Structure 1
Amino acid sequence: MEPYQSTTPFGRRSLTLAHVATQIAASSRPPEKVVHKWKIFHAICLARPRLGVTERALSVLNALLTFHPETALTGDDDLVVFPSNQQLSLRAHGMPASTLRRHLAVLVDAGLVIRRDSPNGKRYARKSASGEIELAFGFDLSPLVVRAEELESLAAAVEAEARAIKLARERITLCRRDIAKMIATGIEEGVPTRRGGQGPADWAEVHAGFRSVVEGIPRTATRAQLENAAEELSQLADDVLNLLETHIKTENMNAKESRSEHHIQKSNPDHLIELEPSFRTSRAARAVPEPQPPRPAEAAYPLGMVMNACPDIADYAKGGISSWRDLLATAAVVRSMLGISPSAWEEAQTVMGEMQAAVVVACILQRGAAIRSAGGYLRGLTEKAKAGEFSLGPILMSQINSQLRAKRSA
């Protein structure tokens, strides 16, 4: 009598049309087809998001594959493996039996293995008089042979998607850096954004548009969302570069003496007054403002802690931020982009101290759209500082916690 191969699961386990379809496909596998089991397993790992299987289910599949003695899975071989739950659990790194059953069901539902249950639900093989296996009850690996091309195609698609997302993120990062530094240069050099426009005021509008694009990118953005944002930022970077190039061409048309004089005025990177043109009258006595010795309150927080809390301000620094002088110079540029008036900035520096005022500006930049009026917010904190009710610590800790939450969610 010919052995009968069961098509339904043992006990209360249900049979679905998807299970039947997998069995039909497995029964028609070409006998000459050969698949390397670890290569196809690698493809399944890559295609995991498309297949709907978990990492632990893949650990169980890896364990099942180890029970097949050959590296090659062929179309004419019996591909049923029949380990006991105890053996399978050991090779799945000690996975509990209940968890093991759950992940086996995931593999069956995903069409990666077929359940071949015995009359009593046990896994075993019946051998002939010569010692060859006539009939085995366990898990059939035939779908891996039948679906080899499909699984490899899914893996290639997932890899291509991941590569496209990585390229889009790289493009966004480069554009963010370029735009931030070009905006900073435009403000420092007094470059107008349109004919007859005032440089710093108009650059604030450009900066606001830049931040709106950046803040509109979701934390778990799709490929399409990232590519759209990258395209917008690329266009904005081109526009800002055109503004700077146009200004350079205009300057080249001026007399050589005027260009030389302009160069002398703008060439000192430590000249903070040139970053704040409106301060020339009120702060003329501080031609080259060196950072004052920090007050005890200002020295309480290291620069590294500030940069961890407010990393975005580094985008606007020409050579990075490695000292308090760098932070002070960059904050002077950023405050103009945020629309903070020179009077509000000067008052904050007088009341809080230069370092604390710079840190507050960095925090305002980091919070972005959450603060509607950066100037009003700074004035409010300055009034609290006058009354002795201002403390920088809670603001910094709030920003650090926000950064940690963002990293965890990402």
Structure 2
Amino acid sequence: MEHANVATPFGRRPMSLAMMASQKTARAMPEGACVHKWQTFHAIREARELLGASDRGLSVLNALLTFHPDTELSSDGTLIVWPSNAQLASRANGMSPATLRRHLAVLVDCGLIIRRDSPNGKRFARKGRGGHVEQAYGFDLSPLVARASEFAALAEQVAAKKRAYKCQRERLTLLRRDVIKLIEAGLDEGVVGPWETFSEHYRRIVDQLPRSPSIETLDDVCDALEQLRHEVHIVLEKHAISENMSANESHSERHIQNSKPDYISESEKSSRKIDEASGAAEENDNLKSLPKRELPLGIVLDACKGWHHLAKDGEIRSWRDFLAAAEVGRVMLGVSPSAWHEACEVLGERYATIALAAIYQRADQINSPGGYLRNLTDKAREGKFSVWPMIMALLNAKLEAGKAAAQASSQTQRATESRKGGFEVSDALRQSMKRWSS
């Protein structure tokens, strides 16, 4: 192999210990070593950040490799190329001379090439009688052969990090989807649970994600979302278990046989007809005794004072202003779109909004506003619900304002963020909430 001794750069270029180390590595190249130059270049390109090389520097290295006639780089052959700056710049996509010199220096500093400068700094080759190169001055590519295995290992390390990063991104996407879908399922099904707490905690976690997060940040976010998903799943699972138990009990009750025959005697039929004809029959519910006229807006606003805060400019002058605040109230109460649309279809938009305003007025007493609204919708579908009793109850409660205010104050002080809807937030989730809220 030519130039086994240390080669110093021409002119005012300084010599460094890094250059000596690179030349020592090249001299330690085993005999008969042979690598595919483009495969090695691909490995260098993948590991360029670890090697300290730039993309422009790699374009210069790519141009240098094109001046080597063979596809393979062998320790037994000539590994020095001697293109002029003009030729090299032409193959490097017209790079300017100053930029070319700068990136050639970067390649030398990274230990990817070695300068073999002639006494006068020119690049050329001296050939013998047989046409073989006896002496060449230019850029030595032997580090590519000597460090080929190192480049391949670094490229595999980078590829492994990319795969891990991709897996974490996929995990993040799945966790975000799971948490959102599970919370929406709980709201849609009317499950009693701390859905507002879950939603706020999810938003705090996601809002702290940068545009290009590191893999460490992704790990922390995914762990927090994993804990949140576990908590939401527990709430839904408990509800499913209670539903199954209730279904089993009702199924068992249907198999209980009644020993008494299910018929009505003629005397009972005749007495019932007489009572109904005389108007003595009692109604099971009092809906028919309620006023038939529509509720005045003033009465509704007097009963639902808090609804003013949701309106534009805090004022409600007409039913249009009253209805416009429904979307804001629905979101604040955590009522799902499906539950709201169903209520509007059954009750009508105006009465559904009145019911929502009454629920908003009593939000501190209702664990699951969405489930409560669904329950009212089901009763209205069967003709067993009217908004009149809700408004009258609020007005009656207003007459006892002192007592009700004292009770509401004590209930508010006893309530904590960790207990909503009869479910207690676990210690692990509470610590996570403190961490992500800070």
Q: TM-score, normalised by structure 1?
A: 0.60
**Inter-CA distance 20–14: structure 2 relative to 1 (3 Å threshold):** same
Output the amino acid matched with 2:157.
A
RMSD: 3.1
The answer to whether 1:167 aligns with 2:167 is yes
Alignment of 1:87 with 2:79, yes or no, is no
Find 2:231's aligned residue among 232, 239, 252: 239
For 1:244, the aligned partner's letter is L
Measure the CA separation in 1 of the matches of 2:149 and 2:118: 31
User: Is contact 2:6-2:23 (8 Å) kept?
Assistant: no
Q: Could you tell me whether the CA contact under 8 Å between 1:44 and 1:151 is conserved in 2? A: yes
Equivalent AA in structure 1 for residue 100 of structure 2: L
* Larger-Rg structure: 2
Q: Superposed, which structure 2 residues align to 1:27-66 within 5 Å?
A: 27-66=27-66
* Equivalent position amino acid for 1:59 in 2: S
Measure, in 2, the Cα distance between the counterparts of 1:126 and 1:48.
34
User: CA 1:138–1:282 in 2, change beyond 3 Å: closer, same or farther?
Assistant: farther
Q: Within 5 Å, which residues of 2 pair with 1:203-218? A: 203-218=195-210
**Cα distance in 1 for residues equivalent to 2:59 and 2:157:** 22
Q: Which ranges of 4 or more aligned residues in structure 1 deviate by more than 3 Å?
A: 2-6, 255-259, 328-338
Compute the TM-score of the two structures, normalised by the length of structure 2: 0.56
Give the Cα separation in 1 of the matches to 2:248 and 2:19: 83
Distance in 2 between residues matched to 1:94 and 1:105, nearest whole Å: 18
Partner of 2:135: helix, strand, or coil? strand
Q: How does 1:189-204 map to 2 (within 5 A)?
A: 189-193=189-193, 202-204=194-196
1:378-406: CA deviations, max 9, x gaps?
A: xxxxxxxxxxxxxxxxxxxxxxxxxxxxx
Instruction: Determine the structure 1 residue equivalent to 2:107.
Output: 107
Are the aligned partners of 1:40 and 1:151 in contact in 2 as well (CA < 8 Å)? yes
**What letter matches 2:37 in structure 1?**
K
Tell me how far apart the structure 2 counterparts of residues 3 and 145 of structure 1 sit (CA, whole Å). 16
Letter in 2 for 1:248: A
Contact 2:33–2:145 (8 Å) recurs in 1: yes
CA distance in 2, matches of 1:334, 1:108: 62
Question: Cα distance, 1:4 vs. partner?
Answer: 8.8
The answer to whether the 8 Å contact 2:112/2:143 transfers is yes
- The answer to whether the 8 Å contact 1:127/1:134 transfers is yes
**Corresponding position: 1:70 with 2:55:** no
Correspondence 1:145 to 2:142:
no
Contact 2:82 2:124 in 1 (8 A): yes
Could you tell me how far 1:334 is from its partner in structure 2?
Answer: 4.8
Classify 1:238/1:331 alpha carbon distance in 2 versus 1 (closer, same or farther; 3 Å). farther
CA distance in structure 1 between the partners assigned to 2:14 and 2:131 by the alignment: 34
Cα deviation for residue 118 of structure 1 reads 1.1
Matches of 2:326 and 2:23 in 1, distance apart?
Answer: 70
Report if the CA contact (8 A) 1:187-1:333 is conserved. Answer: no
Alignment-mate amino acid for residue 142 of structure 1: S
1:249 Cα deviation after fit: 1.4
- Whether the 8 Å contact between 1:85 and 1:97 is mirrored in structure 2 is yes
- 3-state SS of paired residue (1:253): helix
Q: Of residues 195, 219, 242 in structure 2, which corresponds to 1:250? A: 242
**Alignment partners' CA distance in 2, 1:329 and 1:93:** 63
The superposition leaves residues 47-101 of structure 1 with CA deviations (integer Å, 9 ceiling, x where unpaired) of 0111111111111100000100111111222200000111111111111111111
Q: CA deviation at 1:220?
A: 2.9
Give the letter aligned to residue 75 of structure 2. G
Structure 2 residue aligned with 1:224, among 181, 200, 216?
216
CA contact (8 A) 2:113 2:143 kept: yes
Which SS does the other structure have where 1:226 is aligned? helix
1:243 to partner: Cα distance: 1.3
1:197 is matched with: none
Deviation of 1:235 after TM superposition, in Å, equals: 2.5
Alpha-carbon distance, 1:229 to partner: 1.6
CA contact (8 A) 1:30 1:76 kept: no
Identity among equivalent pairs (%): 50
- Aligned residue runs from structure 1 range 11-410, under 5 A: 11-193=11-193, 202-255=194-247, 334-336=331-333
Taking structure 1 as reference, are residues 331 and 83 closer, same or farther at Cα in structure 2, changes over 3 Å only? farther
Q: Provide the C-alpha distance between the structure 2 equivalents of 1:26 and 1:331, rounded to a whole number of angstroms.
A: 72
Cα distance 1:337–1:216, how it changes in 2: closer, same or farther (>3 A)? Answer: farther
SS in 2 for 1:221: coil
Q: How far is the alpha carbon of 1:215 from its aligned partner?
A: 2.0
- Alpha-carbon distance change, 118 to 82 in structure 1, aligned in 2, over 3 angstroms: same
Q: Give CA deviations for 1:268-302 in whole Å, capped at 9, x if unaligned.
A: xxxxxxxxxxxxx979xxxxxxxxxxxxxxxxxxx
Counterparts of 2:9 and 2:160, CA distance in 1: 38
2-structure distance, mates of 1:86, 1:94: 9
Q: 1:5/1:120 Cα in 2 relative to 1: closer, same or farther (>3 Å)? A: farther
Distance 1:111 1:232 in 2: 43
Match for 2:137: what amino acid? F
Q: Deviations over 1:1-42 (max 9, x none)?
A: x98966111112111101100001111211111100000000
Q: Which runs of 5+ in 2 are unaligned?
A: 252-298, 302-324, 341-348, 354-438
Deviations 1:175-207 (A, max 9, x none): 1111112112222333222xxxxxxxx211111
2:38–2:71 Cα contact (<8 Å) kept: yes
